A and B are shown apart, each in its own frame.
Chain A
Amino acid sequence: MIQRICAAAIGALLTLSQPALASDNKAVTVAAPWEVASYDPAVSGFAIQKLQIMENLVDADETGSLRPGLATAWTASEDGLTWTFSLREGVTFHDGSPFGAEAAASALTRAWKQPGVLSKAPVTGIAAEGGALVITLERAFAALPALLAHATTIVPSPSSLDPEGNPKALIGTGPFKVEAFTPPQSLDLVRNEAYWGTLPKIEAASYLAAGRAETRALLAESGDADIVFTLDPSGYARLGNVETVETVAVPIPRVVTLKVNAAHPFFADPRARRALSLAINRAGIAAAITRFPEAAADQLFPPALNDWHNATLPALSHDIAQAKALLAELGWTSGEDGILTRGDERFSILLRTFPDRPELPLIAAALQDMWKEIGVELDVSVANYSEIPAGHQDGSLHVGLYARNYGLTPDPVGTVLQDFGTGGGDWGAMGWENAEVAEALAAIAATADAEARAAKIARVTRILHDELPLIPIVWYQHTVSIAKGLENVVIDPLQRSYGLSAVSWSE
């Protein structure tokens, strides 16, 4: 052990004495908040996929339309229960070993056996058959190809696993291969010269995980990083005035929402949930905290989610008087200290949220103040995010504040089904069920027929809007700063890729 530490210390010294990679004009440095500490696609898949080290069978473009990845085509059987994916030929992994149906089948089987998108799909078997990959289902599930575009279903080489099945290396088929990996902070990449598709224009890239937004903004401003993802509102505003960078904000299908325990006597009546919603000044939160005034969520699904955003819904509004009236209807009267009481109940509740997204505690503090106005006393607990699913399971949660990503897979129906299907979901409805919604969602999941889906989706979004099992607050913007001189940077709203394979330096 001592030897290893000495070796590491010397290694650290050696790397320190090397000239900075950034001095090489061709390398592009990306900075983002997410640390990469594991070789396991189930844990670090998001970063591995974004950096284009490993690839999926199915790819998606910026609009969410599916396109071939490592699979060239896919077909479902008549009954929709057997899917066959034809695989691309002549593809090799970074270590030179060939990619084939066996590798795909073992990677996907591993993903399926672990918690993730596949384990939630009605999959009954994954097998390599005659050079193709065959997935069998229990019932029809049209969104299956979309799941194969998810970060946890990327394909590592069989040699990435040690004999016990633990991932030990980052070897994939993507346009970039790993040259150096210092968990959890950085990854150095070089171009995969044997890539099957279009070769990237840049020869090397490096990734730096910088957890603090202040650091990332400074990295962008000084030019130490060329592309910086997820800026805080203050840093974004500041970088807008810096000449050497360009800032971009792309709306993404992530929404800050409140999960309300509808099984709790305070919130069982939809009017109570509506009152809480009416008391929220979304415009204020969007203007002062997230600082994209147009992103105040007037319904759950953001416009970025084309198929699910329902333009015909009336916007959720801010109306204190109406909120108070609704609560009065429910028998609540104002107590001596201004907090509502009903019998011997006092409208005092606990909100659980987490600090991993810095805006959440701020929004929680804003809600505390806004709800005080209608006589609701809110205590805020900022802790680990697992407290929300844990509170869902044991029924102790009052309200939970979090950010839900409906763009995990190009087709969000899997996520929506989990959240609002029968029994609700850990990150969805709690103590709330609606037979019509559950039925409609099952039908949407089973069909690929656009028109049939649209009608059902409109119905589902309407019911969610009226019943408010989740109270939406603001939608997200994906903020990025790009060094001037860097061309062809495509910001993916689904956040599947940093698009490094397409970028180039202008002459």
Chain B
Amino acid sequence: MTRLTPFLAACATRGLQAVLVAVIVGIVSFAMMQALPGDAAYRIAAGRYGYDMMDAAAAEAVRIELGLDRPWALQLLDWLGALAQFDLGRSLVYGTSVIDEIATQLGYSLLLALGAVVASLLIAIPVGIAAGLNPGGWVDRVSLGLSIFLRAIPAFALGVVLVLVFAVQLRLLPVAGFRGVAHLILPSLTLGLGLAAVSNRVVRDAVAEAMAAEWRLFARTKGLSARVTVLRHVLRNASLPVVTYVGVQMAYLIEGVVIVETVFAWPGIGHALVHAIFARDIAMVQGTALTLGLIYVALNLLIDLACRGIDPRGSSA
């Protein structure tokens, strides 16, 4: 019971934050899209008709059709009014419902993000612990070198190399697409390796530090049981920065996947957002940004709760 109250309080705070984030993100992304130089009608027409068919006449037709010459305040009010009725409008480029489009792509995006985090944790935690238990040892050195190398390779290059090895040479996995669990592995691994490159160092540092601290306390104790206790304490203390760090990574991940989505022809929200920004598809940008903002809030809630569970003393709302 006593544990439940702070839980509910955290949920309520985050719920309020969610509504705020939704409105603010919508308004800010609208303002940013308005502030971008260049004529929106031209960009939207370009996105719709392609370079073979797009011209000034098409841009003017788009301007009239979408009422882009109306005052911007009016356009924003329209969006907010529709939002109050849970309507995100229609994509200015494709004419499809924004909610439908996001609903389809978000599912794939979440799947990929989840795959990436799982892959990164599967790699980072064992490697980080092994390196942290013996700072300066060969595991530490090798993992540092690999981490730096992985971090210095852009995701697209890593992706094509993985495809070459696992899909073309070994024929174990498909190259691109999204039809089977097999399709999820390579993009998840590409993203996961990039994430693990940093997070294994975070784990390593946390473990090394906790070890040093614990050994000071337990220096006089000997025997196996002490070792197990130490390890348990160490892991508990080390997991806090790791969870926090994974939280930051997740936020980058959700939109950072755009490159991996493009390389692996994966239908995701990052890709959709980039296209929408370039094509000035304001309805789509607002809808996507809002959704990402909400997910971010939900994610923060999860991290808060996780931190609370691990270490009640250092957590916060």
Q: Which residues from chain A sit less than 8 Å from chain B, CB to CB?
A: 1, 4-5, 7-13, 15-22, 31, 35, 37-40, 42-43, 46, 114-117, 119-120, 152, 166-167, 182-186, 208-212, 214-215, 218-219, 221-222, 224, 354, 356, 384-387, 389-390, 392-393, 402-403, 405, 408, 425-427
Contact = CB atoms under 8 A, between A and B. Distances in A.
B312 interface: no
B263 interface: yes
Nearest to A16: B181
B265 A208 contact: yes
9 contacts: A10-B107, A18-B179, A40-B94, A43-B48, A116-B49, A185-B267, A209-B265, A218-B175, A390-B38
Contacts of B49: 42-43, 115-116
A128 B156 CA distance: 53
Given A16-B180, A214-B156, 7 more contacts: A115-B49, A184-B271, A185-B178, A186-B177, A208-B265, A405-B52, A427-B51
Contact of A219 (B43, B59, B175): B175
Contacts of A402: 51
Contacts of B45: 115, 386
B106 interface: yes
B46 A115 contact: no
Given A1-B99, A215-B264, A218-B163, A386 B178 contact: no
Contacts of A42: 48-49
B233 interface: no
B115 to A, nearest CB: 10
Interface stretch (B120-128, B166-174, B202-210, B234-242): B166-174
A183 B267 contact: yes
B209 to A, nearest CB: 38
A183 B104 contact: yes
Main secondary structure, interface of B, reads helix
A118 B179 CA distance: 39
Contacts of B156: 212, 214
B93 interface: yes
Contact of B96 (A38, A212, A405): A38
Interface of B: 38-39, 42-43, 45-46, 48-59, 61-62, 86, 90-91, 93-96, 99-104, 106-108, 110-111, 156, 160, 163-164, 167-168, 171, 174-184, 262-267, 271-272, 275, 278
A35 B265 CA distance: 10
B158 to A, nearest CB: 12
Contact of A40 (B95, B101, B103): B95
Nearest to B182: A20
Nearest to A10: B107
Complex A-B, nearest 9 residue pairs according to Cβ-Cβ distance, in ascending order: A115-B58, A8-B107, A386-B42, A38-B94, A9-B107, A12-B107, A386-B46, A426-B55, A185-B267
B164 A426 contact: no
A450 to B, nearest CB: 27
Given A4-B99, A185-B265, A219-B175, A389 B183 contact: no
Nearest to B41: A386
Contact of B57 (A115, A354, A405): A115
A43 B95 contact: yes
A40 B53 CA distance: 14
Contacts of B53: 115-117, 152, 408
Contacts of B262: 211-212
A183 B43 contact: no
A408 B52 contact: yes
Contacts of B61: 114-115
A425 B39 CA distance: 19
Nearest to B55: A426
A43 B93 contact: yes
A13 B179 CA distance: 9
Nearest to A15: B179
**Which of B46, B90, B171, B177 neighbours the largest number of chain A CB atoms within 10 Å of its CB?**
B177
Contact of A16 (B94, B100, B183): B183
| Best-buried of B51, B103, B183, B262 by chain A (most CB within 10 Å) | B51
Nearest to A113: B61
| B160, B179, B262 interface centre (most CB from chain A within 10 Å) | B179
Contacts of B168: 218, 221-222
A8 B176 CA distance: 20
A215 B176 contact: yes
A186 B106 CA distance: 16
A269 B80 CA distance: 54
B95 A427 contact: no
Contacts of A212: 156, 262-263
B39 A215 contact: no
Contacts of A393: 56
Contacts of B42: 384, 386-387, 389-390
A211 B110 CA distance: 21
Nearest to A8: B107
B109 to A, nearest CB: 9
A208 B176 contact: yes
A428 B198 CA distance: 51
Contacts of B93: 37-38, 43
B103 A4 contact: yes
A351 to B, nearest CB: 16
Given A218-B163, A427-B55, A5 B177 contact: no
Given A4-B99, A215-B264, A390-B38, A208 B54 contact: no
B94 A210 contact: no
Contacts of B108: 12
Given A20-B174, A224-B176, A210 B265 contact: yes
A354 B50 contact: no
Nearest to A408: B52
A390 B56 CA distance: 7
B48 A182 contact: no
A222 to B, nearest CB: 5
B51 A166 contact: no
Given A37-B96, A183-B96, A385-B54, A222 B175 contact: yes
A393 B48 CA distance: 19
Nearest to A224: B175
